[in-house]
Amino acid sequence: MAELSYREAVAYGIAQEMRRDPRLVMLGEDIAAAGGVFKTTVGLLEEFGPDRVRDTPISEQAIIGAAMGAAMTGIPVIAELMFSDFIAVTWDMIANEIAKTRYMTNGQVTLPLVIRTANGGGVRFGAQHSQSVENWCMMIPGLKVVAPATPTDVVGLMAASVRDPDPVIFFEHKALMATSEEIPDGEIVDTLGTARIRREGTDLTIAALAAMVPRALEAAEMLAADGISAEVIDVRSLVPLDTRTILQSVAKTGRFYTVEENPRVLGWGAELVSIVSHEAFWDLDGPCVRITTPHIPLPAASSLEDLAIPSVQKIYETVKRTIGGAP
Amino acid sequence: MPTDTADPRYDYALRPPRLPQPVDESLASAPIDLDVRLEMYRKLHLLRQWSKRAHDLFLQNLVKGTTHLSLGQEAVAAAFSSAMRPDDYTFATYRGHAHSLSRGMDPGEALAELLGRKNGVLGGKGGSMHLTDVTRGMMGSYAIIGAHLCIANGAAWSAQMRGTGQVAVCFFGDGTTNIGAFHEALNMAKIWNLPVVFVCENNLYMEYTPIDLVTAVPRPAADRAPAYGLEPIVVDGNDPDAVYLVAREAIERARRGEGPSLIEAQTYRHGGHSRADPGKYRPQSEVEAWKARDPIPMYHDRLLKLGTPEATLTGIERQVAEVVDAATEFAKNGPEPGLEDLLVNVWADGGAEWRN
């Protein structure tokens, strides 16, 4: 057992896979000599050398294009985009090329690549360096989308993503970087497409992702003090999506909430609510409720950003207000 | 904007024509094996006859959607493919039929793909703009300008890491030189010394607009090369021998580990940008002058002058005609793909499920 922070877990997970597969390479801006701007790739250059851990120019299209070209010729690749907001700079490569090539070529091309990127708010970087953009990727057929909430999950889901033959967008949350936990010894390999019940409960189900998971858990403790038993599910993987775990939970609790950091419109929670409303309609005792950031660009000021992103208090109050049926 | 005024600012057909350079007759004595030359001649005819057939099938309403033909530009693909090793990589654009066929894609499977048939090379899922055959090193046709230069870098990087000596050759049009990915790709190729050859087919028009009206420099690719530490290389794209010599040198350079090249092949398309475009924005005298520089009759004459019997050439032409006829029957007789194909091959497990 070793105590690892979320940021250390990224390098730990990558190193585990680079030791296992000598073909695996990575590239990105400032990832080698500098160890990454979030210090998530510290030590990789020293262990694996400059041929396998490559610094690149600020050229997001060239980075992701190179990852795709290498992957389609059989080299597994991890590419880093420094901030997930920069996905927009190379969206053609991700949405039009990487996501569609296997289907368009009727299976001729396989793309074993992972795009890692620092996602989410809470660190006062303003509207262009704080977005939660996992929904952008979720809505494109052909991309797998993963967003771990704990250091152990970072390692295990990194391994699962690297070993998956399909392209995976791997969202590392900036606000979780300093969190830490004991992680198990030995190789850690998780499974994509599996949600995890972080807290069992009987009165309502809360589905949360990444930085919203610890907030939902804290809110659940507050609700417990009021005699309300919340089950908290860490969705972990948006594509593939583990609806079975969620539907089973709703069958037990009869109430469904989502906690989403993304701006409101078309967040992943909307898809989950749609599924629950359709497939678990007769299990529900009340309307599904989404707790999200308002549909605004994220502000920079601490006070404003804290008001925007769902807080523990907001989750608690929303559940308290609505669990009796109030809108 | 005036629409009925004769003004070359608004009616590009009134601009002065941009004429081709004369044939360099000295290329007849270039050191190129006769076998290679006859293979290039066969490819020229295959690309021409196949493309004309594709156009005929479009007129019969059998080819849906859009097609972008390379009529007039065949020499670039024919010559480059002849200078490549079988395991080298080709990356092409939506105007990629010539590059696909010249790497050995089955003409019937290619035509069936245009017809949207199950026996198409992509099972009907990709269509005209995405022809791919990785078994022959044809790594794809990319329909959004610029991306595939970056992707070709990745394949070249892979070859470099694996030490295979493979080279990636990436074809694109003059219009591509004005998008950001072009510049990102050239910079990365140079700093990583990648075995990649970028080939700009400058046909003088980015879709419907003269390239010189929208480009800061007269030679859209060659004049950008020095900014990335590369030699400006311009070649007569309508002369297979000229292209072959330049291709052979650039590919061998890359194979020796001496890094990337950027080549501007000057050429002209006989037709419009796509099937919807009659190409009326071009001066008639310009179109006529370039058609007089059609690579096929020119190469026919050169091979005759080099002593090839006429019967050899007509034999090649007849054999290609049979191949194209057989390809047409193969394509027309193919079934349409159905529901059993729709939800297949989104993922590597063969399926399309995104949830349990």
Q: What is the mean pLDDT of residues B22-43?
A: 97
Domain assignment of residue A188, yes or no: no
Domain assignment of residue A237, yes or no: yes
CA A88 to centroid of chain Cα atoms = 17
**Domain that includes residue A259, residue range:** 196-322
What 3-state DSSP class applies to B103? coil
Query: Which of B125, B144, B158 best probes binding to A when mutated, by most A CB atoms within 10 angstroms?
Result: B158
A66 touches chain B (CB under 8 A): yes
Domain assignment of residue B3, yes or no: no
> Considering only CB atoms, which chain A residues are within 8 Å of B153?
62, 65-66, 69
Measured in angstroms, the CA of B119 and the nearest CA of chain A are apart by: 11
Residue that is last in its domain, among A183, A208, A233: A183
Which residues of A are annotated as catalytic? Answer: 129
> Do A209 and A67 reside in the same domain of the chain?
no
- Residue B90 φ/ψ, nearest 5 degrees: -115, 135
Is the ipTM, as predicted for this complex, more than 0.90? Answer: yes
Q: Residue B140 has what pLDDT? A: 98
**Domain that includes residue B323, residue range:** 32-337
Out of A66, A109, A241, the one facing B134 most closely (by C-beta) is A109
Domain assignment of residue B210, yes or no: yes
> Do A158 and A218 reside in the same domain of the chain?
no
Domain assignment of residue B289, yes or no: yes
Domain assignment of residue A191, yes or no: no
Task: Tell me the torsion sign for CA atoms A91, A97, A98, A104.
Answer: positive
> Do A7 and A98 reside in the same domain of the chain?
yes
Torsion of the alpha carbons at A157, A161, A167 and A168, rounded to the nearest 10: 10
Task: Tell me the pLDDT band of B5, cut-offs 50, 70 and 90.
Answer: low
Residue of B nearest to A272 (CA): B355
- Residue B264 φ/ψ, nearest 5 degrees: -105, 115
> Considering only CB atoms, which chain A residues are within 8 Å of B156?
69
CA A207 to centroid of chain Cα atoms = 13
Domain assignment of residue B56, yes or no: yes
**A118: β partners:** A83, A172
| ∠ Cα A95 A97 A101 (to 5°) | 115
Residue with tokens 């049979």: B322
Q: Is B333 exposed, middle or buried (0-12, 13-18, 19+ CB in 10 A)?
A: exposed
Cross-chain Cβ contact B151/A61 below 8 Å: no
The CATH number for B286's domain is 3.40.50.970
Domain assignment of residue B84, yes or no: yes
Residue of B nearest to A106 (CA): B122
Both structure tokens of B46: 């295959």
Mean pLDDT of chain B: 96
> Considering only CB atoms, which chain B residues are within 8 Å of A67?
154
The CATH number for A42's domain is 3.40.50.970
Q: Residue B275 has what pLDDT? A: 77
Distance CA B162, CA A303 (A): 52
Q: What does DSSP say about strands B205-206 and B209-210: parallel, antiparallel, or unpaired? A: antiparallel
From the list A54, A126, A111, A119, the residue with the least C-alpha distance to A87 is A119
The beta strand positions in B174-316, using DSSP E, are: 196-202, 205-206, 209-210, 233-236, 261-266
Number of domains observed in the structure of chain A:
2
Cross-chain Cβ contact A72/B356 below 8 Å: no
Cross-chain Cβ contact A105/B134 below 8 Å: yes
User: What pLDDT tens digit does each residue of chain A (327 aa) get?
Assistant: 789 999 999 999 999 999 999 999 999 999 999 999 999 999 999 999 999 999 999 999 999 999 999 999 999 999 999 999 999 999 999 999 999 999 999 999 999 999 999 999 999 999 999 999 999 999 999 999 999 999 999 999 999 999 999 999 999 999 999 999 999 999 999 999 999 999 999 999 999 999 999 999 999 999 999 999 999 999 999 999 999 999 999 999 999 999 999 999 999 999 999 999 999 999 999 999 999 999 999 999 999 999 999 999 999 999 999 998 777
The CATH number for A303's domain is 3.40.50.920
Number of domains observed in the structure of chain B:
1
Secondary structure letter of residue B58 according to DSSP: H
Residue of B nearest to A167 (CA): B347
Distance CA B65, CA B99 (A): 20
